[in-house]
Amino acid sequence: MRRYWYSALLLAGAAACDGGSTDSGPQVASVAITPDVGRIGVGQELKLTASVFGPSREVVTEVRVDWQSLNPAAASVTPEGVVRGVAPGVAQVVATARGRADTASITVGTEALRSFNVNSAQGCTNPVFKDARLVATSTRAAIYEDVTNPAGGFTSAEFQEIANSFDALIWPVTTQNFGEPSDIDGNGRVIILYTRAVNELTPAGSTSVFGGFYYGRDLFPRVANAKLGACAASNETEMFYLLAPDPEGAVNGNKRSKETVRRSTQGTVAHELQHLINASRRIFVLNTNTSEETWLNEGLSHIAEELVYHAAGGTGPRQNIAEAEIRASQQRLDAFNGFAIANFGRFRTFLEKTATQSPIESDDDLETRGSAWNFLRYSADRKAGNDRDLWFGLVNSSKSGLDNYEAVFGVNSLDYLRDWSVALYADDAVPGVEARYTMPSWNFRSIFPLITSPARYPLKVDTLADAAPRTVSVQAGSAAYLRFGVAEGSTADVRVSAVNTAASGDCTTLRLGVGEVFQGTAASGSALCVGAGEYTLIPFHASRTSGAATQMTVTARGITMPVGPPSPSIAPSRPLFNVTGTGLNPELLNDARGIEARLRARERQELSVRIPGGARMSSSVADPAAPEVRINLLRTK
């Protein structure tokens, strides 16, 4: 059975007797049909549901509902409310219970269209309906095309290839790692809607593009039931929304070729499927009222993209993939372009501003998402074992955020975050570092020069000047990077303290070999005596409080300018988003900044009140101890 909804206009009910029935039994005040407007094709069916209410809007059960079609030549209706298209026309279908009635208007057309609410500005109110035609089906996907999409879109054969690819690649990889989504409409498929409504979310002239979205409102019923509150604008199905081809730029002047849309939304499909799985399993499988925190939910969706990349390219984690492996074959290049390169783009935005960004922030910006993906990948690589068990454990949990992370990984999150911050600098750059300061899956210093301009690793690193105090502000769960050198035969005095104060007393003498890391704290100031060599000081803010920042003053005396690699970043880089066999072509970064963040915020606000007991949409994690600055000093040369 397929459902086709045409609009959300509320029709007047059929005439009912004043006062209702006088015989014994529950009193009925009103009847409401869902959906109240629909469109089907000849020979197709639509299931209508009649909700019966008492005088105080309480749901009345065990009351007989009688169904009638007022135009049976156009559509018939069964005693269970199943409407079947007979011939083109319009039929008024009436549901009556103890003298009260409601009417639904069903249009039967030669081409069956289904209406979807595509409004991403409100979750459960102010629906904006778009008619869409079914253009391809597979075992796991039903693809619809908005009838108002710009000209030049995918052909029927191309839509079918997309559906087949979903079945063969994206569905098995994603569900094997996270679990299967719910199936509230009983069709066994996920609906993928290509709609100009997504194109409209990217303003004219934007340097980024919004590729698509999933909205949790579609899992909620239009009429409240015993489990969930009502969301009147819900599409009542498992679905997500994707960018439509627009070769001539009919929407906001932004041209989107079929090739660009196909390539840039492949990862989006895997990404949104994880969101759907995460939400639906928490609601319908785990029966929990705790939603996942945004940073971890987004990080897992970016992991989903990476997992599909490995399946498509024939690679796997912990292979230290570098430029040579990406260029090894067209299959590898296509897989990287389709499913991996956008993760690198988001991660780049974080690397350029680590001190002011963090993977555990409560927002949904590109920096948080890119760093959350990378931190999860680092964590799985360091934990080793079966990655699938880790991903599945994080999704199938009643915990959220760092509580969830620590329960699944069995570690202190701040310890892993601290070592990860060192790995961001040391991996594939500094010889002799311990394994915990490496990233076994990717050779970032090899890949980033391939996909950024200028060609370099974009980590922002500052250089200390001799005897010049430097004030540094660092976000919770993140770090800053400060380089300096010490001349042969000399000793430097490096001090870290609270802002506008100075660490007092004698310094601790350190004798580090290349690749060795000193780790300490700066609770009341830290003073280090450092011998000849080149170093990177990495102050880490050990706090679990999202958005918290701390300031510190760093003063180094007796230092010189570092000259050896790895060299610091100089200026922000420009991303390049297509790797080909012979060169690089610029492409837009997926996910226009801020749009999904606002969507997720509305989702949490509107849907939390529709789960009985109130959904805890995020966990407020307290620090187990007072936040502190932890010092990492890495000798690089």
- pLDDT tens-digit map of 298-341: 999 999 999 999 999 999 999 999 999 998 998 998 899 889 98
Using DSSP's 3-state secondary structure scheme, residue 311 falls into: helix
Residues 90 and 155 in one domain: no
Q: From edge to edge, which strands make up the β-sheet containing 470-475?
A: 470-475, 549-557, 492-498, 526-530, 508-510
Q: In the 8-state DSSP scheme, what is residue 61?
A: -
At residue 295 the predicted structure's pLDDT band, cuts being 50, 70 and 90, is very high
Question: Does residue 252 share a domain with residue 127?
Answer: yes
Are residues 268 and 176 part of one domain?
A: yes
Residues 190 and 253 in one domain: yes
Better pLDDT: 615 or 198: 198
Q: Is residue 511 in a domain? A: yes
Q: What percent of the chain has pLDDT over 70?
A: 86
Q: Total structural domains in the chain?
A: 3
pLDDT digits (tens, 9 = 90+) for 451-475: 887 788 999 999 999 999 999 999 9
Q: Per-residue DSSP letters for 503-531? A: --SPPEEE---TT-EEEEE-TT-EEEEE-
Are 83 and 156 found together in one domain? no
Query: Is residue 265 over pLDDT 70?
Result: yes
Whether the per-residue pLDDT at 503 is higher than 80: the answer is: no
In a domain, 294, yes or no: no
Same domain, 120 and 223: yes
Q: Which residues contact 490 (CB under 8 A, 6 or more apart)?
A: 531, 532, 558
Q: Based on the fold, state whether residues 217 and 149 are members of the same structural domain.
A: yes
Among 287, 311, 344, the domain-final residue is: 287
| Phi, psi for 403 (deg, rounded to 5) | -60, -45
370 pLDDT exceeds 90? yes
pLDDT band at residue 568 using 50, 70 and 90 as cut-offs:
low
- 61 domain-assigned: yes
Residue 171 falls within a domain, yes or no? yes
Query: pLDDT tens, 126-161?
Result: 899 999 999 999 999 999 999 999 999 999 999 999
| pLDDT for 524 beyond 70 | no
The residue assigned the tokens 């987004």 is 298
**Cα–Cα distance between 605 and 171 in angstroms, integer?**
29
107 and 120 assigned to the same domain: no
Single-letter code of the amino acid located at 577:
F
Query: What pLDDT shows up at residue 410?
Result: 96
Q: What is the pLDDT of residues 383-426, one digit of tens each?
A: 988 999 999 999 999 999 999 999 999 999 999 999 999 999 99
Closest-CA residue to 288 (of 41, 543, 637, 617): 617
**Counting every residue, how long is the chain?**
637
The whole-angstrom separation of Cα 298 and Cα 296 is 5
pLDDT at residue 635 is higher than 50? yes
- pTM confidence score: 0.81
Predicted pLDDT at 146: 95
Lowest mean pLDDT among 6-10, 209-213, 446-450, 521-525: 6-10
Residue 582 pLDDT class (50, 70, 90 cuts):
very low
pLDDT computed for residue 580 by the predictor: 47
Do residues 260 and 163 both lie within one domain?
yes
At 599, is the pLDDT very low, low, confident or very high (cuts 50, 70, 90)? low
219 vs 503 pLDDT, higher one: 219
125/265 same-domain check = yes
Please give the pLDDT value at position 17.
34
Surface-to-core class of residue 432, CB atoms within 10 Å of its CB (0-12 exposed, 13-18 middle, 19+ buried): exposed
| φ, ψ of residue 539 in degrees (nearest 5) | -75, 130
Q: What is the per-residue pLDDT for 296?
A: 96
Same domain for 103 and 191, yes or no, is: no
Instruction: Please state, as a whole number, how many other Cβ atoms lie within 10 Å of the Cβ of residue 318.
Output: 14
Last residue of a domain, one of 265, 287, 309: 287
Distance CA 248, CA 239 (A): 27
Mean of the per-residue pLDDT values of the chain? 86
Contacts of 33 (CB under 8 A, 6+ apart): 48, 49, 50, 51, 93, 95, 102, 103, 104
Write a three-state SS string for 554-576.
EEEECCECCCCCCCCCCCCCEEC
Q: Does the pLDDT of residue 4 top 60, yes or no?
A: no
Q: Encoding tokens for residue 504?
A: 């007092």
- Say how many C-beta atoms besides its own lie within 10 A of residue 9's C-beta: 9
What integer pLDDT is reported at residue 587 of this predicted model? 40
Q: Is residue 369 part of a domain?
A: no
Whether 324 is in a domain gets the answer no
**Is residue 269 one of the residues assigned to a domain?**
yes
Q: Are residues 187 and 261 in the same domain?
A: yes
10: pLDDT strictly greater than 80:
no
393/405 Cα distance (integer angstroms)? 9
| Residue 38 pLDDT greater than 80, yes or no | no
Q: Considering only residues 70 and 10, tell me which one the structure prediction assigns the higher pLDDT.
A: 70
Provide the 10 A C-beta neighbour count for residue 315.
18
Out of 118-127, 317-326, 505-514, 561-570, which region has the weakest mean confidence (pLDDT)? 561-570
For residue 260 the two structure tokens come to 């660009």
More confident residue, 501 or 367: 367
Residue 589 bridge partners (DSSP): 208
Q: Which of 121-125, 234-238, 443-447, 541-545 has the lowest mean pLDDT?
A: 121-125
Q: What is the CATH number of the domain that holds 35?
A: 2.60.40.1080
Tell whether the model's pLDDT for residue 207 goes beyond 90.
no
* Structural domain harbouring 266: 116-287
360 belongs to a structural domain:
no
Last residue of a domain, one of 259, 287, 315: 287
